[in-house]
Amino acid sequence: MAIVTTLYKWQYHTRQWYAGRMRSLGQKASNGPVTKDAPRRVLLIVTGLIGDTVMSTPVIVESRRLWPQAWITLLGNRQTCDLLSGCPLLDACVETPAIPFTLRNRRKVAELERWLREQSFDVAIILLGDQFAQVLADAQIPIRVGVRGHVLAPFLTATHDIGSPKDWGPQERLGALRALGHDVRNVMPSLWVSDDARSAAQRRLSELGLPEGVDYAVVHPFGSTPAQWWPPDRAAELAEALRREHGLWTIVIGGPETRGKLGTAPRYTIDATGAFTIGELMAAIENARLVISTDSGPFHIAGALRRPLVGLFRARRPEHAGRYPLAKVVFGQEPACSRQCQWNRCKELPCRQLNALSVGGILNAIRDCMIEEAPASS
């Protein structure tokens, strides 16, 4: 299976490289002046992970400010559309039928190109999804903006630099608008929770056993890979301390793949792994008194919703620790990781740095967080 996966990735990237190379032989990407006329129809492409999507939302905010009369459409994967469906700044959120350059769904890629032509977009901005550059050019969208240095950049008319993949964030993504000659504000990431999602989350929490009106903390010890997990068995100890010290219930969240990983939940703790839609998850986080999460999607959701937040980070991966002003971050330290592990890849499971994070150290950060949240006495 590993060999098949490696071969698939190789052909996927090779085909993109070849397409970009052939394009560059005939036509270079243009980085000269572009028109400042207000576009009528704008396309934003966002097909990435939850955290990366959240960090791209300042471009949505600034696009609406710059072009208040434009029709702005977001083209994304299902996860992105679920995450941003409540955004009032978007006129449409469309799930892409296919991702370009995949070996399957070529017919759907052709359908996507036809749809793009029919929409008559004036500007297309790729925030996450560089592989869409060729289909945008084939659809004859006149202004196409994306990341400089990608193999498909020759299909773009304007590019910008996001720096290293290790540390890019919201301000680097705003470079897409700067590439069009606009001055933009350095706004923070934001998310928007719909009333329907709030009602659905309330029903779901009630079904799971949360009494009405109680304060709770959301705990997310998981990540997109097992190497990004804080040991789930420690969540029970943390939950007991949250109840004892702060009177909080604990809601443990995670994707469907984390069901059953928590073990027996103690009293005042609800195992909600695999239970929420993205909209319900956002609403549950929005209403939480406190959020404790690894460097993963829920960390960014809580930060964008301005919730008190404690981040559980590997010292090897500190780049997102300062993204949100309300976040307190604790780092797992293990000197051997700096010598033996790559920036984005652990050699051992469980991750030694996350395994080094003690409940006591996390509680110290929680106390600081709760002190800052508490209103000043009169």
Question: Looking at the structure, do residues 325 and 205 belong to the same domain, yes or no?
Answer: yes
Q: How large is the average pLDDT for residues 150-175?
A: 90
Question: Looking at the structure, do residues 150 and 243 belong to the same domain, yes or no?
Answer: no
Q: How large is the average pLDDT for residues 47-71?
A: 97
Amino acid sitting at position 250: T
Pick the closest to residue 89 from 117, 49, 52, 56 (CA basis): 56
Are 236 and 265 within 8 A, CB to CB?
A: yes
Q: Which DSSP letter does residue 250 get?
A: E
Token code pair at residue 133: 């550059």
Long-range contacts of 22-28 (CB under 8 A, 24+ apart): 23/134, 23/137, 23/152, 23/154, 23/155, 24/154, 27/154, 28/154
- Reported as a single tens digit per residue, the pLDDT across 117-143 is 999 999 999 999 999 999 999 999 999
Are 341 and 316 within 8 A, CB to CB?
A: yes
Q: How confident is the model at residue 347, as a pLDDT?
A: 67
Question: Which domain, by its residues, includes 309?
Answer: 196-373
Question: Looking at the structure, do residues 340 and 215 belong to the same domain, yes or no?
Answer: yes
Banded model confidence at residue 40, pLDDT cuts 50, 70, 90: very high
Question: Looking at the structure, do residues 328 and 234 belong to the same domain, yes or no?
Answer: yes
Q: Give the residue with greater pLDDT, 232 vs 227.
A: 232
Question: Looking at the structure, do residues 152 and 264 belong to the same domain, yes or no?
Answer: no
Banded model confidence at residue 218, pLDDT cuts 50, 70, 90: very high
Pick the closest to residue 292 from 272, 271, 278, 313 (CA basis): 313
Question: Looking at the structure, do residues 90 and 222 belong to the same domain, yes or no?
Answer: no
Q: How confident is the model at residue 34, as a pLDDT?
A: 60
Question: Looking at the structure, do residues 208 and 350 belong to the same domain, yes or no?
Answer: yes
Is 230 among the domain residues? yes
For 164, other C-beta atoms within 10 Å of its C-beta total 9
Q: How large is the average pLDDT for residues 189-210?
A: 97
Question: Looking at the structure, do residues 166 and 218 belong to the same domain, yes or no?
Answer: no
Q: How confident is the model at residue 13, as a pLDDT?
A: 84
Is 167 among the domain residues? yes
Q: Residue 28 pLDDT > 80, yes or no?
A: no
Q: How confident is the model at residue 1, as a pLDDT?
A: 57
Is 121 among the domain residues? yes
Amino acid sitting at position 97: P
- Reported as a single tens digit per residue, the pLDDT across 322-346 is 899 989 999 988 877 777 777 667 7
Q: How confident is the model at residue 62, as a pLDDT?
A: 98
Q: Give the residue with greater pLDDT, 339 vs 176.
A: 176
- Reported as a single tens digit per residue, the pLDDT across 268-287 is 999 999 999 999 999 999 99
Question: Looking at the structure, do residues 363 and 214 belong to the same domain, yes or no?
Answer: yes
Share of the chain above pLDDT 70, in %: 93
Q: Residue 149 pLDDT > 50, yes or no?
A: yes
Share of the chain above pLDDT 90, in %: 69
- End-to-end Cα, the chain, rounded Å: 64
Q: What is the DSSP annotation of 46-94?
A: E-S-HHHHHHHHHHHHHHHHH-TTSEEEEEE-HHHHHHHTT-TT-SEEE
What's the alpha-carbon Rg for the chain, to the nearest Å? Answer: 22
- Domains in the chain, number: 2
Name the domain boundary from 148, 178, 208.
Answer: 178
238: domain CATH number? 3.40.50.2000
Crossing angle of the two packed helices 278-286 and 195-208, in degrees rounded to 10: 80
Q: Residue 42 pLDDT > 80, yes or no?
A: yes
